[in-house]
Structures are given as C-alpha cells and as structure tokens.
Amino acid sequence: MSNHPVDIPLFIDGEFVASRSAEYSEVVNPATQAVLARVPMATPDEVQVAAAQAAFSTWRKTPIGARAPLFTLSAVDS
C-alpha cells in the first residue's frame, strides 16, 4: 500500500469528475490513524440535487452485489 493518500474524484450523475474545490476531507483508518484517501468537498455548483434525485430511482433498485464494487473502483484505478 502506498504511503500517499489517494485523491478520489466526485461521482456526479454517473460520472467521476474532478472537483473545483480546494477543500478536502481526509478518509482515516481508525485503527492506525493513517490517511487513506482525500475526498474533495464539493462546491454548491457541483452538488446537483436534480441529478441525485434522478440517479436515486435507478440506484435504489440496484442489488448490493452490483453496488459494492463501485465504491472501490476509483481506489483501484488510481
């Protein structure tokens, strides 16, 4: 495992997108306090409620077995 945290892009309306924000939140391993990743704090323009509502109708019908790999996809590809 790398000593450098992974920068994870935003996932908006079905796509990974780079954030324009300079603010990040760190994802920390609670056992070691090591910073594993950094996630941008989306700007108000990046937070699109309509896109989230449209995506939710499909997402809620997606089986957990199909959802789980998506959460690790960006970390594996980085």
What pLDDT does residue 54 have? 81
> Is position 42 within any domain?
yes
Q: How many CB atoms lie within 10 A of CB 12?
A: 16
What pLDDT does residue 78 have? 52
More confident residue, 54 or 60: 60
For 11-43, what is each residue's pLDDT tens digit?
877 788 899 999 999 999 999 999 999 999 988
> Is position 1 within any domain?
no
7 forms bridges with which residues in the sheet? 38
Structurally, the chain folds into a number of domains equal to: 1
> Is position 69 within any domain?
yes
pTM listed for this prediction: 0.55
For residue 30, the enclosing domain spans: 6-77
